[in-house]
Amino acid sequence: MKTLSLKNLRKTYFDPYAGSQVTAVHDVSLDVEQGEFVSVVGPSGCGKTTILNMIAGFIPYTGDEILIDGNLVKGPGPDRGVVFQSFALFPWKTVLENVGFGPKMRGVPKDERDRTAREYLALAGLSHAADRYPNELSGGMQQRVGVVRALANNPAVLLMDEPFASVDAQTRMTLQEELTRIWQERKPTVIFITHDVAEAVFLANRVVVLSKGRVLDQIKVDLPRPRVWDHLIEDETFKRLSAQVLQMVRAA
Amino acid sequence: MLVAPGQKVRSRVAWRGMNSLVGAALFVAPLLVLVAIWAIVVPLFNVNPRIFPSVGSVAEAAVAAIGDGSLIRHIGASMLRVGLGTFLGVLVAVPLGIAMGVSPAVSAFLTPLFRFFSVLAGIAWIPIATLWFGYGFGAIIFVIFNAVFFVVAYNTLLGVSTIPMTIRNAAASLGAGRWALLTEVLLPGALPNIVTGVRTGLGFAWRGLIAAEMIATNVGLGYMLFVARDFYRTEVIVLGMIVIGVLWLFIDRLLLVPLERATIERWGLVRRT
Amino acid sequence: MNIALRFWSGYVRTTHRWPIIATIVPFIPVVAIWSIVANSGMFPRAFFPAPVDVMRSFISLTYKGILPDYLQDSLIRLLFGATIGVALGIPLGILIGSSRLAHRICWPVLLFFQAIGDIAWLPILLIWFGFGLTTMTFVIVYTVLFPIVLSTVLGVQSVHRDLARAAQSLGASPMRVLWEVTLPGALPNIITGLRNGLGYGWRALIAVEIIVGTSGIGFMMFDARRAGSTVEILLGMIVLGTLWYIVDAWILAPIERATGQRWGLVTS
Ligand SMILES: Nc1ncnc2c1ncn2[C@@H]1O[C@H](COP(=O)(O)OP(=O)(O)O)[C@@H](O)[C@H]1O
Ligand SMILES: [Mg+2]
């Protein structure tokens, strides 16, 4: 069953400084099955963020259509959870309130949404931080909150735009392993954007390679789960797939 | 076992109470020393009461002014004006500032306008205010209103436009509608700036009030000072100055500063002096 | 649609090249509305003059030399007072900021005297010094002084102790530490204080000129008020607003931003 379907997506920006048009996305079509984890990888400036923003509804899309569970996308909505590179946590809300924000918007009473939020915080090992404010947490912890905040809202698709790009390398690996673990437990549909080839292969069932606003190729990743870096780093299949994707990205 | 947590809390509260008591004492002590010096110096050098009053005469003036109710009347008039003008100013400025700040293009366009008027806010409006509204309540309220209004509106505008777009997007993608965006994101996000704006605006308004009362009315602390000058009643002037200082200290330190601290520091939004 | 985009693009590019245009353009509709309201006869013209009237008065007062003279008087008073305020405020601030005891003792006194506010001093100053320059200068110094002292103290305290230790262990004498570490470290705060101080200072100047009144823009405005000449009051306000806008937005704010952000000390 298709959860997300993009048909002939295009996007042209108007640059007021240059007074000219910039085409960021040329013609992108993509189908994502329910419970699939899709990585989108490509060099910076190839239109990844633009595509994600159109799916999220942050910018109006142009082209044929974007369907979520068969419904046309109209602006941002709770059916698409977003995890941002800059975390985008509400600084004036505690961790618990941040995670409970989605349920609150749906009118869930306080007791119940606090319970849900605590459940999700436990999933990310953050129970102890529930009453702290975001600026009192490390970057890695902040992004864990960002991820469970999106998950707690039960979105049909989880959209992640280079979510681990601004944390240190060790933390990034831990976060990646945690994400695969959470994905296995909950099986959300995920679109994960990154420019890091190893990250893309490590996480996904399928890697989509993007170049200059077009889909260059797609590669299935059949690595066994649970995935942990200690094993995969030596794994021949992982190495081969990574090399293959890297070649495509560099050739692009 | 059952009592322990409650006790702990109570003793902590008591400790905090002690602490703030000690803090207050440490704060007041240097001021008392100052009063002591004043009490010694004035008789020692035989200062002419027309130049500077003795502690005793100021105390007598205070007793007299409290006794005949005039001090309360002046304080009441001043506080009413400041309270009302500030209330109206904030009431209009915050919604307006947020509405204007919602669109980045609109807020960029309007920023110079509000900056211009906030630069002008306060005392510079006294002449035209007295011409438009006559001497009295209306003119003073107008001066205070616009001292607060423009500064708060400008700061609100600034505050809303500094909220990162991603935070607004995050709220929208979690299902926040227009109203929720306003109450959950724009208002709290702009709050530190709003509070700073109120503090600055109130500072201008307070001075504007004293100035306007000297010029344009027949009741209020500014008026009390200015009339006393006509009769060389320095003890009344000094009493008025002390009252003005203490009132402002209470407003600023017990109301505005803690509010600013609470929002700014806890949320880690901006670190300021 | 396309024309609108073209137009917007043109505006963005022009204002990018000459930012001053972005400052001026928003005032055009305001002046236009003002002009329309004034000409509509909604209010009597003497009560609510039009922009042309103010312009005419600006030209005639400039031509007669009154406006430049008054402006000069006001600016010199402000500059004079501010200079004294800075010269007193920074050393005082450093002194109070670098000693815990001095801080304990002086901080409440400072806060109290700041709370009294400049204008409340006017009546007693008038008794002491009469209507004259001394009174005006006192008020301005008083106004400028406190924000500078308070921010200098905060600035000095915000300089990390390890910085001073580092300098000492590199062989700096206490005086050198003050000059090379404490002062530069406190500079962003000092400039913020100066900006606030001048902001309060020129307002105080206006009030003093209104009440003490012999010359200056504040005097001009209140003199006009006595004569019921709205035009000159508005002219005074516009001159003041423009002047202060230029000083604040194009001189003080950029300096404040430059020192604070360049060194990564202010995160706003
Ligand atoms: N708001 C915008 N206005 C004009 N051009 C833009 C805008 N956003 C992105 N672009 C341009 O579109 C292209 C793709 O950008 P983006 O989607 O952010 O790429 P990526 O996320 O893959 O790095 C880039 O050339 C970028 O300069
Ligand atoms: Mg991007």
Peptide bond into A226 cis (omega under 30): yes
Is C128 in Cβ contact with B30 (below 8 Å)?
Answer: no
Nearest CA in chain C to B204: C200
Span from the CA of A42 to the centroid of ligand 1 (angstroms): 13
Q: Which of C237, C244, C80, C99 is nearest to C157 (CA)?
A: C99
Say if residue A132 is in the same domain as residue A162.
no
| CATH code assigned at B74 | 1.10.3720.10
A121 in the same domain as A64? no
Q: Looking at residue B135, what is its pLDDT? A: 87
DSSP A69-118: TTEE--S--TTEEEE-TT----TTS-HHHHHTHHHHHTT--HHHHHHHHH
pLDDT at residue number C262: 54
Tell me what percent of the residues of chain A surpass a pLDDT of 70. 100
Query: What pLDDT does B14 receive?
Result: 56
Residue A242 counted as domain residue: yes
User: What's the pLDDT at C18?
Assistant: 81
**Residue from A9, A14, A50 to probe ligand 1 pocket by mutation (most atoms less than 8 Å from CB):** A50
Q: Is the pLDDT of residue B264 over 80?
A: no
Percent of chain B with pLDDT over 90: 36
List the domain boundaries for chain C: 73-261
A50: Cβ below 6 Å to ligand 1?
yes
Is B175 part of any domain? yes
Reply yes or no on whether the pLDDT at B8 is more than 60: no
Residue of A nearest to B268 (CA): A135
Do residue A74 and residue A97 come from a single domain?
A: no
Of A93, A105, A136, the CB nearest to B175: A105
Percent of chain C whose predicted confidence (pLDDT) is above 90:
26
- Report the nearest-CA residue for atom 7 of ligand 1: A13
Superfamily of domain covering C73-261: MetI-like (1.10.3720.10)
Give the neighbours of chain B: at least 3 Cβ pairs within 8 Å: A, C
CB contact under 8 A, A56 and B177: no
If you ran DSSP here, which 8-state letter would residue C120 be given?
G
Mean pLDDT of chain B: 85
What is the pLDDT at residue B122? 82
Q: Is residue B30 part of a domain?
A: no
Q: Is residue B31 part of a domain?
A: no
Task: Name B72's Cβ contacts closer than 8 Å, sequence gap at least 6.
Answer: B66
* Tens digit of each residue's pLDDT (9 = 90 or more) over A203-234: 999 999 999 999 999 999 999 988 999 988 89
pLDDT at B196 (0 to 100): 86
List the single residue in C with minimal CA-CA distance to A15.
C9
The CATH number linked to A66 is 3.40.50.300
Question: pLDDT-based confidence at B272, cuts 50/70/90?
Answer: very low
Q: Count Cα neighbours of B87 within 13 Å in the Cβ-side half-sphere.
A: 6
Q: Is residue B141 part of a domain?
A: yes
| Residue among C48, C119, C143, C191 with most chain B CBs within 10 A, to mutate | C119
Position with higher pLDDT, C59 vs B255:
C59
Q: A17 in contact with C at a CB cutoff of 8 Å?
A: yes
**pLDDT computed for residue B1 by the predictor:** 33
User: Do A181 and A117 share a structural domain?
Assistant: no
pLDDT for A80 beyond 70: yes
Residue B133, domain member (yes or no): yes
Question: By residue range, what is the domain housing residue A127?
Answer: 89-154
Asked if C45 reaches chain A (Cβ–Cβ under 8 Å), the answer is no
Ligand number, closest to the Cα atom of A53:
1
Q: Which stretches of chain C score pLDDT less than 50?
A: 266-268
Q: Please report whether residue B43 resides in a domain.
A: no
Q: What pLDDT shows up at residue B18?
A: 66
pLDDT confidence bin for A81, thresholds 50/70/90: very high
Q: What is the dihedral angle through the alpha carbons of A198, A203, A206, A207, rounded to the nearest 10 degrees? A: -30
Q: What average pLDDT does the segment B78-97 reach?
A: 94
Q: Looking at this predicted complex, what is its ipTM? A: 0.85
> What pLDDT, on the 0 to 100 scale, is given for residue B271?
39
Q: How many domains does chain B have?
A: 1
Q: Which of A119, A154, A189 delimits the end of a domain?
A: A154
Ligand nearest to the CA of A165: 2
Tell whether C7 lies on the interface with A, counting CB pairs under 8 A.
Answer: no
- Is residue A47 within 6 Å of ligand 1 at its C-beta? yes
Cβ-Cβ contacts under 8 Å, A154 against chain B: none
The domain boundary, picked from A154, A183, A204, lies at: A154
Q: What is residue B7's predicted lDDT score, i.e. its pLDDT?
A: 42
Shared-domain flag, residues A178 and A118: no
**Shared domain check, A36 and A23:** yes
Q: Which residue has the higher pLDDT, C16 or B197?
A: B197
Q: Do A200 and A220 have their domain in common?
A: yes
Which amino acid does the sequence have at C29? Answer: P
Is C225 an interface residue toward B (CB < 8 Å)? Answer: yes
Distances (CA, A) of C186 to A158, B212, C191: 47, 36, 9
Determine which of B126, B249, B255, B263 to mutate to test the interface with C (most C C-beta atoms within 10 Å).
B126
What is the mean predicted confidence (pLDDT) over B53-69? 91
The b/e string for A139-171 (b: 16+ C-beta within 10 A; e otherwise) is: ebbbbbbbbbbbbbbebbbbbbbbbbeebeeeb
Q: Which residue has the tokens 């949320």?
A: B267
Q: Is B19 part of any domain?
A: no
For A94, what's the count of Cα atoms within 13 Å in the CB-facing half-sphere?
A: 13
Q: Residue B4: its pLDDT value, please? A: 40
My answer on whether A28 and A16 are in the same domain is yes
Which residue range is the domain that position B161 belongs to?
A: 52-265
Whether residue B20 is predicted with pLDDT greater than 80 in this model: the reply is no
Q: Are residues A75 and A126 in the same domain?
A: no
Q: Are A144 and A180 contained in the same domain?
A: no
Flag whether A84 is in a domain.
no
Q: Identify the residue among C1, C3, C8, C9 best suited for mutation to test binding to A, counting A beta carbons within 10 A and taking the highest.
A: C9
Shortest CB distance from B267 goes to which of A78, A82, A91? Answer: A91
Is residue A49 within 6 Å of ligand 1 at its C-beta? yes
- What's this model's pTM, rounded to 2 decimal places? 0.82
Do A19 and C16 count as a contact with CB atoms less than 8 A apart? no
Name the residue with higher pLDDT: B148 or C118: B148
How far is ligand 2, taken at its centre, from the CA of residue C153, in Å? 44
Provide the pLDDT confidence category of residue B15 given band limits of 50, 70 and 90. low
